[in-house]
């Protein structure tokens, strides 16, 4: 996604004025491409459906994280493509303001690479997420090349994650694998099952209904055949 300034010049602030409220609007620009938008929404939808019973997290995409030590909305902000904060209240927010959220930073961040952002995502952002955010799990995914890389924070330094036999990377924070499926970044359970999105759940329900209908039709045909042979199928139950 489009990179935002890491440290813009601070506003001229009257010291007698209190810090701005936490309900700040997001400063993020629109997603770079339709592909980026679909990828972000896919991660959000599938995780929220999978964790539908949970109320102790916040997940968002293309939303500004304000983290100015001086609590100024004009400096020190980032907008990851996708992030998850654990141990917080699940509710709507216009942005994530660290100083209004008990100092919490994301536990997991995913950046979707593009030609214009790849260098920053691999460099400056990675350094920021490691040294400032202290985000335990950081991933990036390139939808053009299908490159997937992940890092886990160990003693304050990001260490590369090793893929499993299926090429997936484990997120200890989420308790899920991240892997590529049909050209898209997806979540997988510890057992390797795909975490479905809404459309996939609907398709599964439709397929189950069709299977049930087909079984009913087969039973009806069998009953009719038995009647032709002079056997009452009801007596066989």
Lowest mean pLDDT among 2-11, 140-149, 161-170: 2-11
Residue 80 CA to residue 7 CA, distance in Å, equals 16
pLDDT reported for residue 6: 36
Residue 105 CA to residue 132 CA, distance in Å, equals 9
Q: 28 versus 140: which is more confidently predicted? A: 140
pTM of the model: 0.73
pLDDT average, residue stretch 214-232? 69
Instruction: Give the residue from 88, 168, 98, 161 showing the smallest Cα distance to 128.
Output: 98
pLDDT reported for residue 137: 98
Relative orientation angle of helices 34-50 and 198-228, to the nearest 10 degrees: 60
Helix (H, G, I), strand (E, B) or coil at 145: coil
Q: Do 65 and 47 contact (CB within 8 A), yes or no?
A: no
pLDDT reported for residue 177: 98
Confidence category of residue 216, pLDDT binned at 50, 70, 90: low
Residue 202, pLDDT above cutoff 60: no
Q: 215 versus 116: which is more confidently predicted? A: 116
pLDDT reported for residue 32: 65
pLDDT reported for residue 207: 53
Q: For 90-112, what is each residue's pLDDT tens digit?
A: 999 999 999 999 999 999 999 99
What is the average pLDDT score of the chain?
Answer: 83
pLDDT reported for residue 232: 73
pLDDT reported for residue 35: 84
Angle 180-182-187 from CA coordinates, rounded to 5°: 40
DSSP assignment, residue 77?
A: E
pLDDT reported for residue 7: 38
Q: Do 161 and 151 contact (CB within 8 A), yes or no?
A: yes
Confidence category of residue 83, pLDDT binned at 50, 70, 90: very high
Q: Do 86 and 67 contact (CB within 8 A), yes or no?
A: no
């Amino acid at each position: 996604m489009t990179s935002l300034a890491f440290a813009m010049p601070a506003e001229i602030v009257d010291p007698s004025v209190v810090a701005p409220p936490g309900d700040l609007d997001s400063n993020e620009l629109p997603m770079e491409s339709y592909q980026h938008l679909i990828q972000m929404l896919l991660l959000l939808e599938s995780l929220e459906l999978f964790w539908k019973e949970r109320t102790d997290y916040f997940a968002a995409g293309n939303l500004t994280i304000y983290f100015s030590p001086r609590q100024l909305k004009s400096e020190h902000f980032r907008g990851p493509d996708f992030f998850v904060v654990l141990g917080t209240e699940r509710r709507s927010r216009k942005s994530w303001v660290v100083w209004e959220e008990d100092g919490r930073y994301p536990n997991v961040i995913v950046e979707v690479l593009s030609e214009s952002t790849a260098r920053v995502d691999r460099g400056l952002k990675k350094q920021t997420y490691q040294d400032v955010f202290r985000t335990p799990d950081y991933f990036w995914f390139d939808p053009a090349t299908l490159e997937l890389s992940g890092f886990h924070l160990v003693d304050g330094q990001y260490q590369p994650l090793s893929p499993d036999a299926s090429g997936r990377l484990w997120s200890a924070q989420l308790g899920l694998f991240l892997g590529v499926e049909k050209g898209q970044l997806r979540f997988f359970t510890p057992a390797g099952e795909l975490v479905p999105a809404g459309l996939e759940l609907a398709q599964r329900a439709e397929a189950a209904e069709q299977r049930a209908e087909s079984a009913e039709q087969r039973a009806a045909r069998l009953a009719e055949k038995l009647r032709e042979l002079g056997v009452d199928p009801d007596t066989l139950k």
